[in-house]
Amino acid sequence: MDNIDFFHHLESTSTLINHLRNRIAKSSEDDWQLIIEMNCLLLTIDDFKTEPKLIKFIEHMNCQQKLAIYRFKPNTCYKWHIDHLGRNCCVNMLIDGYDSLTMFGVPALQGQFTNITKLVYEPNKYVLLDVHKFHTVFNFSQERYVLSIGVPSPTTYNETKQYLIDNNL
C-alpha cells in the first residue's frame, strides 16, 4: 500500500509550553469541561498571543471555537476510532505525558488494522493529525495533556496541510 498520510510534523517550534503548563497548574476542577467523554480546558485566541503565525492560522481556518487542552488519566486507552467533533483534522502539541503512545492504522478484515504508524511527538512541536483516519492512544504512567486546535469541517486535512506548508508553519 502507498505511504499513508496520517499526520504531518510542522516546522515551527512552539513558545507556548510554559504558558500552557501554567494554565493547567492554575486551573481548578471546575475549569475543566467534559466534552464527549474527554476533559477539556477551553482556551481563547489570547492564549496564543506569543505566536502571531499561529493566530493567523487560527483566524484563517476559523478555529476560535475549537481551542482546548485535553487531559487524559494515566493507564487508560480508547478504542480505534475516527473523530466526529465537527472537524476533519487538528493541530496538536503534546504538553505532558511523553510515555503515551498514539497510533494510526487502516482497518482490515475481522477487526484487525494494518499499516500501523506510530506518531512520535517532539517537545514544543506541533503535529497536524488527520482525525478522519483511524487512530488510538494508550496513556501510561503519566497524565497526558494535549493542546488541540480543531479545524472545523468542511476544511480537509490536505487543504490544512497545504496552508501550513505555504505559510511556513
User: Which residues fall within 8 angstroms of residue 162, CB to CB, at 6 or more apart?
Assistant: none
Percent of residues, the chain, with pLDDT higher than 70: 98
Report d(CA 42, CA 32) in Å as an integer: 8
Q: Is residue 68 one of the residues assigned to a domain?
A: yes
**Tens-place pLDDT, residues 49-108:** 999 999 999 999 999 999 999 999 999 998 999 988 788 999 999 999 999 999 999 999
Query: Which pLDDT does position 110 carry in this prediction?
Result: 87
pLDDT for 140 beyond 80: yes
Query: Which pLDDT does position 61 carry in this prediction?
Result: 96
**CATH number of residue 131's parent domain:** 2.60.120.620
2: confidence class by pLDDT, cuts 50, 70, 90: very low
Task: Write down the pTM of the prediction.
Answer: 0.94
Q: Is residue 120 one of the residues assigned to a domain?
A: yes
**Tens-place pLDDT, residues 28-47:** 999 999 987 789 999 999 99
Q: Is residue 21 one of the residues assigned to a domain?
A: yes
pLDDT for 145 beyond 90: yes
Report d(CA 20, CA 15) in Å as an integer: 10
**In 3D, which of 42, 39, 37, 36 has the Cα closest to residue 68?**
42
Q: Is residue 2 one of the residues assigned to a domain?
A: no
Helix (H) / strand (E) element for 57: namely: helix 52-60
Burial class, 103, CB count within 10 angstroms (exposed 0-12 / middle 13-18 / buried 19+): middle
Total of domains in the chain: 1
Range of the domain at 162: 7-166
